[in-house]
Structure 1
Amino acid sequence: MSTRKLGWVIATALLFLVLAVGVFLISDQIAKKTTIGIPQFQDNHIELIDQNGIVRNEDDFADRPIALFFGFTYCPDVCPTTLTTLAAARDHLNSTGMDTTALQIIFITVDPERDTPEQLKQYFSLFDVNVTGLTGSPEKVRSVLKQFGIYAQKNGQGDGDYLFDHSSAVFLYRDDGSFKGTIVHNEPIAFITEKIKSIL
């Protein structure tokens, strides 16, 4: 290869390198900006009851990373899939030698009328995952949903036979309570695992 061609190859490689670094830095800044203004977990006011009948508030979950999502125990697809996927991601990280015991998986119901503490406890027993379920009066649950910007709409008014359309994302928080990002429904397990790893 001539000196001139070699120079062009090196120049082209350097250009691609500069562009790649630029794209990375820009995307990183965009990611940071998208989380600016989102309150820390502890800035929200929570006063709900867990599956063991214990009143819990936002401070009970301080100093440990959080994976938070909203759902209901009569959910036919999204909620059980989310629990199963989070458990699989946790197990994969454990298999690589990473300690995931600090991770708190929190499930806040959008259906407090049916999701009593007893119902939550029975539901979680079906999954191999350590999760804290939270419920409460309809007023207190609505307050929490509003604070986190969660959409939840009841479909059907039959005798206890109804479903909910609801936000399905998992919200990730670092151990200092700051918001890290989200996991969307049906995201590849490899991406989910890396996202959870990033808050541990």
Structure 2
Amino acid sequence: MTRIQKTAFVLIALVALVFGLTVHKVLTAQGQGDPTALIDAGIILLPQSRDLPNISLTDQNGQPVRVDELKDQWSLLFFGYTFCPDICPTTLAQLRELKTLLPPEALGRLRVVLVSVDPQRDTPTQLKQYLGYFDPNFQGLTGELENIQKLANAVSIPFIPANTDKPNYTVDHSGNLVIIGPDGTQRGFIRAPLNNQKLAVQLPLLLKREG
């Protein structure tokens, strides 16, 4: 390697280092914390936020909810169903535990929402009873299958509708969580399986952001 090549290599390395430190500083200043630590905790932020579709679903109290109006708090959306044999009860129990690990100011900024991928069986009454086993403050949404699919596709959490003619059918779905900001846009994901110890450290840093 010639002297010119060595000099160029050193300059490129320095530029890369300065750029990396600058990005790290900007993200930290925005309240996102260490981006490497966020990823290690399973938090994946989108480079650009996504709008939610303008559709209406029904909550566990039978009230209509516009999904593009989930605002004023950060929301964690989990697509599951009440007859799920494994992923859903495990995830909801982990989310219940996570809430006990978060500081009060973080809890006040966060809502947990179960979006049913089995609206045929998941009536508002069924959702309310089921969520009550985990945390009565968890919210549930159900509605027309077409609208639920539209929402799931918009946030990149697709699921496979079940053959409801079969008895005791199951629904294939993801265990990832969708992060919705207080402005009502999708900000990212939390990968499954959840690591509550790491999330308890990193999630409050994200929730400090106002939007």
TM-score, with length taken from structure 1: 0.74
Contact 1:78 1:185 in 2 (8 A): no
Q: What is the aligned partner in structure 2 of residue 182 from structure 1?
A: 189
Counterparts of 2:45 and 2:193, CA distance in 1: 22
Aligned twin of 2:148: 141
Tell me, yes or no, if the aligned pair for 2:68 and 2:185 is still in contact at 8 Å.
no
* Identity within the alignment, %: 31
1:160 paired residue number: 167
- Count, aligned residues: 178
Range moving further from structure 2, 124-133 or 142-151: 142-151
Deviations 1:122-141 (A, max 9, x none): 10111135211000122222
Distance in 1 of aligned mates of 2:18 and 2:198 = 21
Quote the residue 2:84 is aligned against. Answer: 75
Unaligned runs of 5+ in 1: 1-14
Contact 1:87 1:129 in 2 (8 A): no
Candidates 27, 44, 50, aligned match of 1:39: 50
User: Residues 129 and 169 of structure 1: is their aligned pair in 2 closer, same or farther, counting only changes over 3 Å?
Assistant: farther
> Counterpart in 1 of 2:28?
none
Asked if 2 retains the 8 angstrom alpha-carbon contact of 1:172 and 1:199, the reply is no
| Whole-Å separation in 2 of the counterparts to 1:170 and 1:39 | 15
CA separation of 1:177/1:59 partners in 2, compared to 1, >3 Å: closer, same or farther?
A: closer
With over 3 angstroms needed to count, the CA separation of the structure-2 counterparts of 1:112 and 1:98, relative to structure 1, is same
SS of the residue corresponding to residue 172 of structure 2 reads strand
SS in 2 for 1:145: helix
- Correspondence for 2:3: none
CA deviations over 1:14-59 (Å, ceiling 9, x no partner) = x9xx959837837959x8x96134414xx42230001110011035
- Identify the match of residue 75 of structure 2 among 37, 58, 66: 66
**Quick check: 1:55 aligned with 2:53?**
no
Give 1:110's aligned residue: 117
Distance 1:68 1:21, change over 3 A: same
Deviates more, 1:103-112 or 1:180-189: 180-189
Counterpart residue identity of residue 36, structure 1: P
Based on CA coordinates, which of the two structures has the bigger radius of gyration?
1
Instruction: Supply the distance in 1 between the matched residues of 2:129 and 2:193 (Cα, whole angstroms).
Output: 25
Q: Partners of 2:92 and 2:202 in 1: how far apart?
A: 15
Distance in 1 between residues matched to 2:35 and 2:203, nearest whole Å: 18
